[in-house]
Structures are given as C-alpha cells and as structure tokens.
Chain A
Amino acid sequence: MNLFFREIKAARRSLILWSIGICFMVVSGMAKYEGLSGTGQSLQQMISEMPKSLQAIMGTGTLDLSTAVGFYAILFTYLQLMAAIHAMMLGANIIAKEERDQTAEFLMAKPISRSQIITAKLSAALANVVIFNLVTLILSITMVSKFSKDGESLTDIYLLMAGMFMLQLIFLAAGSSIAAAGNKPKRAASVGTGILLISYILSLAIDLNENIKLLQYITPFKYFEAKRVVAGGVLDPVFVGLSAIIIIILITLTYVSFRKRDLSV
C-alpha cells in the first residue's frame, strides 16, 4: 500500500493540471454553444453543407448541433483525446519512471516483488483515471444541463463517459505494457503517444474514406465515438467486448514482461 500512496501523491499535481485543462475545455466549449445556439437551425445547415472531410475532422456527422447534448458530443471528441493522452502517459510513466530516474535499485532492494510493484502502480494509475473521468463527468453534466432545453435527456453524457472510461483503460494498459516490455524507459511515453496519435489520425481517415471502414477495429478512438454512441443510445457490445479483451491482453503483457526482463539501471 505504501507504493500505491506514493504514486497517488506523485501524480497529484499532474492530475490537478489535467483537471484544470478539462475544466477549461468544457466551460469554454459549452460557452461557444451559447453563442451559436442563437443561430439555431442555420448552424446545422451550414455544417451539413461543408465538405465531408471538414465534417469528419470536426466529428460532426449525424449529430444534431442545435441541442446542447449534440453540441457537447463534438466537444467530447477532444475530451476523449485528452483523456487518452493522459491515460497513456500515466501508464507509461508510472512504470518507466523508476528506471528512468534510476530509483529502480532503491525499490528493487526492498522486500517487494515485481508483480506487487505493478499491482500497486496500476491501482494508483486506475485511481487517477477514475478521478479524471469523474471530474469530466461532473463538469460535463453541470455545463450541459445549464444550456440544455427542458426535457433534453442527459443519459447520453453518462454513456459517453462510460465509453471514455473504456478508452482510458485501453490506453492506460497500452502505456504500461510499452513501458514494461521496452528497455528504453526514457522513450516509453513518447512511443506510446506516437501510437496514440497514429490511431487518432487513423480514426479520422476512416471517417473520410468508407473503403477502410474495417480498420475501425484497430483504432480505439472509433469504438465509442460520439456519433455512434449518441445515435445508438448504447455502447456497442462488440466494441465493449473487444476493449475488454485488449485491456486484459495488455495488462497481462505488462505483468509478464516486467517480471521477466532485466531492469536497466
């Protein structure tokens, strides 16, 4: 437990900064809605007349921008990207930092097994990710309900957050497995972020080109994208299952490879 609390404490400041970042995104994003909502239908029309590539990049698609929830869903794409980057970097750094900062010799001389180290670190990272998600949820609900018309359901927001949580877990596990398997601790976070950006760009490319739709299974950003969730009203069980499998594989990989390899000191 001492390692868990140590990690919580170490991540505290970064978590606060990220929370301020989300707060800024949600508040300023929804403030724009207030400005645009006056124009009503014309906004929706304007966007639908834009080239498809531009719509794809903005992530609009089938969303109804005249409602607060619909507008929020666009904002959500960026929140999701932020959450993914946070989770990826957290996962990679929490494992890699002992070797990167050369404290591995200190830690490994203590009566603690490598599996226990991973368990404590992943638990601390999980707690951070949960807090990140809850902060986003609370801010989102508060801001959207401020602008939503009567009778507009906020269920979609809960659903979107559940989707975002799955995405966070995938990238957390991806980050930790990259750090655990690789022997270049300084590069773990940058390799992870690189992979993340590639999969994000891929998700945009799929929106632009119907022919590569099958690739949606390899980029987690497509799994719970806003337009799919809002249109379907549920999280697609196929993607929930797929996410669960990916998370389990990556976490197992984290444990196995960290236990097996020589630590770089």
Chain B
Amino acid sequence: MNVIELKNLTKTYGKARGITNISFNVEEGEIFGFIGPNGAGKSTTIRTMLSLIYPTSGSAMIFGKDSVKYGPEIKKEIGYLPSEVFYYDNMKVKELLKYSASFYKKDCSKRITQLAEMLDLDLNKRIDDLSFGNKKKVGIVQGLLHEPKLIILDEPTSGLDPLMQQKFFELLKEENKKGTTILFSSHILSEVQKLCDRVAIIKEGELVNVEKISTLKENNHKRFKLESQTQVPHDYFKIKGVQNLEVNNHITSFLYSGNINMILQKLAQLELYNLWIEEPDLEEIFMHYYEKEN
C-alpha cells in the first residue's frame, strides 16, 4: 500500500520557483529520503502535502485520501517536524507538548516523558530559553508523541549534535520497525544514506530521480583535496574512479568513487602537507547523475 502518492504535484508562486510535476510514491513501512539542495522545493512539496499551501495542479494522496479534502482526518496519523521550529514562546516545554497532545484523542503523557528522557530534554524550561538544538528536540517529541503512522521530517538533524543525531536515528529506526512510514527530507546525502531505503532527488523544483539507496552507495563519491610538496603530475591519478581532476600548483583535487584502499595507496606515495576527504556536495552528485543519463 502507498502511504504517500504524489501525482504531478505542481505549485507555482507568482515569480518565485515552486515545484513542477512532482510524482512519487512512498510505500507503507518505508523510510523514504527526500533530498535536494536548499531551495529545491522540498519544503514546498511537504507543505503542499500538509495543505498549508494548496497545489496549483496535480494531487497529493496520503493514506489513499486527498490531502486537501481530507486534511484534518489524515493529520490524525501524521507527525510533522518542520525545518525551522517556532513555538509559542511564552510556553514551557511541558505546556507545549500537552497542548500538542490535546489535538489527538489519546493519552500521550507517558510517551512524552519517555521521549523527553531519551532525548535528554528538560520539560520544565521555557521554550524561549532553549537553544536551537533543544528546540529541535521539542519538535521531535511533538512530532512523535501521538505515535503517528506517517512521520514527515523536514531537515530534522540541523542543530542536533552528532550524539543526539545518533539517538534520533535509533528512535526513527525503532518507530519504523513498528511499521511507521517515514519521509525524511534533507540536503545531506550521508544521513539519508544511513537511514533510508529509497530516495527521491529533487532539483530546482523538479524530480531528478527516485533511487534505491543501495544504487546510490555504489556511486559513493568522495571529494579529495590535497596539498603536496611538489606539483603532482597530471597523469598521477589516472586510475579508475577518479573524476574532475584539477591540479593547481601544489593543490590537487578530484572526486573518487571505488575501492578506498586503492586511492590511499596512491596517496601514501606522495609527500603531503595537508589532506581533506569530504562528502561531495549535492551539486556534484547531481552532475554525476546528469552525466550518467546522457
């Protein structure tokens, strides 16, 4: 069964870019990644699904029901964490969570305590006084306290420290084991890779591809940048898997995908001052996508 079904979902705002003909399905029990650079239309898509804004054309079906027509009904089973969390400043964390729970016809107090404990969140503080990361935690608890069947997360990890991210991911995996479907939007490929089964890639308001994570992993690119004592000869890195090679005096940079030991052996033979190995940014990954398609 499809929990989310987007059919040619289009939203245009005056001049600003919206989204065009977005179509994909998310199956029940899936952790589905939704990835794209900032401003690609991820939040617009999600806000349309939640009928905060209405589609210009096309439709979003959630639990098989039209998201505009049956909005309040389907939202009973949705937990949503917005990308930027803003809450009623003069409330305490506990008050906000109680208020949030009061919209659902079930007792969530146990769950609130449990989640707060897990995320190390102080319930008696004023929301105003919380740091960005702690506000995000309030958002997480708020989104999960009614044990929804579908969790929608818009850039959920920003502001969380790595340890907390880890706990949060474990929490999501646990929910997923219980059968919860998760839509996880992010601009960081690595975190999507860690968690998701499939991803939809969006760029400039259009869907680029829907891929299995396993396929993406085969194209696990790393960006290498190194500063060497002498200029590296142009053909030194002419091995399989090296792309976009640039040699600029003592600085050399390239993208690499393939067996990591191979490249490390190559690097070991150089006299280096400095070395950076990074996740390539999405633009580069997308470039790769376009190349492959052509």
Contacts and interface: CB of A to CB of B under 8 A. Distances in A.
Contact of B103 (A2, A10, A103, A104): A2
Interface stretch (A86-94, A109-117, A174-182): A109-117
A263 B80 contact: no
A155 to B, nearest CB: 43
Contact of B86 (A2, A106, A109): A106
B107 to A, nearest CB: 14
Q: For chain B, give the interface size range.
A: 20 to 34
Interface stretch (B29-37, B70-78, B157-165, B240-248): B70-78
A109 B80 contact: yes
B23 interface: no
A50 interface: no
Interface in B37-95: 47, 50-54, 71-73, 75-76, 78-80, 82, 84, 86-90
A149 to B, nearest CB: 48
B99 interface: yes
Interface residues of A, number: 19
Contacts of A110: 75, 100, 103
A10 B87 CA distance: 13
B142 interface: yes
A104 B86 CA distance: 9
A65 to B, nearest CB: 45
B51 A108 contact: yes
Contacts of A106: 82, 86-87, 100, 142
Given A111-B73, A112-B72, A265-B47, A101 B78 contact: no
9 contacts: A10-B90, A104-B52, A106-B142, A108-B52, A109-B79, A110-B75, A112-B72, A116-B72, A263-B53
Given A109-B82, A112-B72, 18 more contacts: A2-B99, A2-B102, A6-B99, A102-B84, A102-B86, A103-B86, A105-B50, A105-B82, A106-B86, A108-B51, A111-B104, A112-B103, A113-B71, A113-B72, A263-B52, A263-B53, A265-B52, A265-B53
